[in-house]
Amino acid sequence: MAPGGVAFPPLYCRIHHCHSPGGDASPRPDRTLDGDACTECGRCQEACPAHGAGTPLSPKEFILALRESLHAEGLAHRDREKNLPPLIGEAIPQEMVWACTTCGACVHECPVMVEHVDTIVDLRRNLVIEGAIDAELQDALTNLGRYGNSFGKSERMRARWTKGIEPKIKDALKEPVEYLWFVGDYASYSPTLSEITKMTAKVYQDIGLDFGVLYKGENNSGNDVRRAGEEGLYEMLVEKNMKALKKSDYQAIITTDPHTYNSLKNEYPLEDEKPILHYSELLAQLIDSGELKFSKKLGYKVTFHDPCYLGRYNGVYDAPRKVIEATGCELVEMPRHGDCALCCGAGGGRIWMEEGEMEERPSESRINEAVALDGVSALVVACPKDVTMYADAVKTTGNEEKIVVKDLIELVHEAL
């Protein structure tokens, strides 16, 4: 409560009704203060990939719209809130809320630590409850609820990529393993990624890793489901995955996808302290211990794209670079790298949504940035969604003859 007993209006409760995660509609004074804290410097706007692509989103204007709306109404008493106009649709267009990739670049750049992304996700939760969502996103969420993956494929198809691999990959639900590999949806189901997933398994086997997968016991981790505003579905996916994890006997978890890595590491109610590693971290550790050795030096000149959920969200920058260096490649950094890396445009559920009108997609901007580097022949990535987004962007920008997109594991496989 504010001085004098006046309630701070909860921002994410001001969309027609008071909806919030778990049914708790208590005020969020921390979010209301974001507007007053904003210095209007515009650094968030300059860093935003959605704004750079020409979408309706400007993180700066988003925060200023919140501030203007709150100041116009004043610190209303609780019983007046029902008369407040809808925040979404009047002060803030829906298109602005859905354009966000949740990459966190705006939050990283903000000198006063305004939390743009958290507020946007809060507003998305209300839009999901209202049913005001993109048709393609609705299809993806329906598939995730029904099948546990956004592709709408049977759980029995999840491990189809393992067929033909010898020795057979262990089932972590049936026998103990040192490393439980949480493969993820895109690496499991996407036909364009199956060879990379098989290659990853082959590398693990070649270096003698004791690992297994959950087969049909694995579901989408829910990271992007949560960022798309479907909190209830996220909790359902967590419950299913936790059931499988509790049945498994493992010493550490490896993830393919940084989005999965973020959820398991930071948001799942895992009671033990077993390590959760992105595969680049595992490879870097094996290089340091001498368990992973390479027979040849590749000699390519490459650049690396830092995934948002690996870098800005979790601070993992050195591990993939260590692996690239160990394969004998020369790394040339793009102007925007490390914690200032440009988002590929897939995060926050955007990969499931209609793209709409854009001047230049974030993935296309990134490819053009990589192509501009002298002598670079490959853009190396460490996320299945990045492979998907950038392989398409190479084609749409007409750069097929200038650069190729390679997953980090492809360099490792070639250098073994």
Query: Given this model, what pLDDT does residue 71 score?
Result: 74
What number is the average pLDDT over the span 386-402? Answer: 98
Rg (CA), the chain: 22
What number is the average pLDDT over the span 31-39? Answer: 80
Burial class (CB within 10 angstroms; exposed 0-12, middle 13-18, buried 19+) of 269: exposed
Query: Is 167 in the same domain as 277?
Result: yes
What number is the average pLDDT over the span 343-357? Answer: 94
Helices (H), 248-354: 258-266, 279-289, 318-326
Q: Yes or no: say if 31 and 25 are a contact pair by the CB < 8 Å rule.
A: no
Separation CA 193–CA 403 (nearest Å)? 18
- Long-range contacts: 131-139, Cβ < 8 Å, 24+? 132/88, 132/94, 133/98, 133/228, 133/229, 134/98, 134/352, 134/353, 134/354, 135/354, 136/352, 136/353, 136/354, 137/228, 137/349, 137/352, 137/353, 139/352
69 phi and psi, to 5 degrees?
-65, -45
Residue 258 lies in a domain: yes
Specify the amino acid at residue 319.
A
Residue 324 lies in a domain: yes
Query: Is 110 in the same domain as 151?
Result: no
Q: Yes or no: say if 375 and 301 are a contact pair by the CB < 8 Å rule.
A: yes
Q: Is residue 84's pLDDT more than 70?
A: no
Residues 6+ apart with CB under 8 A from 112: 37, 38, 39
Residue 408 lies in a domain: yes
Residue 301 lies in a domain: yes
| Least-confidence region, from 21-35, 108-122, 292-306 | 21-35
The Cα-based distances of 12 to 25, 81, 121, 295 in angstroms read 9, 12, 9, 56
Could you report the per-residue pLDDT of 270-311, keeping only the tens digit for each? 988 899 999 999 999 999 999 999 999 999 999 999 999 999
What number is the average pLDDT over the span 359-387? Answer: 98
Residue 142 lies in a domain: no
For the chain, what percent of residues have pLDDT higher than 70? 89
Query: Is 359 in the same domain as 401?
Result: yes
Query: Is 265 in the same domain as 163?
Result: yes
Query: Which SS3 state, helix, strand or coil, does residue 13 take?
Result: helix
Q: Which residue has the higher pLDDT, 200 or 78?
A: 200
Query: Is 206 in the same domain as 94?
Result: no
Query: Is 91 in the same domain as 9?
Result: yes
Q: Which residue has the higher pLDDT, 251 or 88?
A: 251
Residue 272 lies in a domain: yes
Specify the amino acid at residue 173.
L
Structural domain total, the chain: 3
Residue 180 lies in a domain: yes
Residue 141 lies in a domain: no
Separation CA 48–CA 59 (nearest Å)? 7
Q: Is residue 192's pLDDT more than 50?
A: yes
Could you report the per-residue pLDDT of 221-260, keeping only the tens digit for each? 999 999 999 999 999 999 999 999 999 999 999 999 999 9
CATH value at residue 199: 3.40.50
Query: Is 304 in the same domain as 379?
Result: yes
Q: Which residues pair with 211 in a beta bridge?
A: 179
Could you report the per-residue pLDDT of 205-214, keeping only the tens digit for each? 999 999 999 9
Tell me the pLDDT band of 81, cut-offs 50, 70 and 90: low
**Which residues form the domain of 51?**
3-132
Which of 98, 132, 166 corresponds to the end of one domain? 132
Query: Is 169 in the same domain as 84?
Result: no
Give the torsion sign (CA, 285, 287, 289, 293): positive
Average of per-residue pLDDT values in the chain: 90
Tell me the pLDDT band of 74, cut-offs 50, 70 and 90: low
**First-last CA distance in the chain:** 62
Query: Is 281 in the same domain as 302?
Result: no
Query: Is 314 in the same domain as 411?
Result: yes
What number is the average pLDDT over the span 156-183? Answer: 98
Query: Given this model, what pLDDT does residue 5 score?
Result: 32
213 phi and psi, to 5 degrees?
-125, 170
Q: In terms of Cα–Cα distance, which of 287, 335, 280, 269 is closest to 309?
A: 280
Q: Is residue 216's pLDDT more than 90?
A: yes
What number is the average pLDDT over the span 124-149? Answer: 96
227 phi and psi, to 5 degrees?
-70, -25
Query: Is 299 in the same domain as 281?
Result: no
Query: Is 173 in the same domain as 196?
Result: yes
Q: Which residue has the higher pLDDT, 378 or 11?
A: 378
Which of 250, 285, 320 corresponds to the end of one domain? 285
Q: Yes or no: say if 250 and 209 are a contact pair by the CB < 8 Å rule.
A: no
Q: In terms of Cα–Cα distance, which of 306, 379, 304 is closest to 340?
A: 306
Which of 285, 313, 342 corresponds to the end of one domain? 285
CATH value at residue 74: 1.10.1060
Tell me the pLDDT band of 17, cut-offs 50, 70 and 90: very low
In the DSSP assignment, the letter for residue 359 is S
Q: Which residues pair with 277 in a beta bridge?
A: 254
118 phi and psi, to 5 degrees?
-60, -40
Query: Given this model, what pLDDT does residue 129 score?
Result: 94
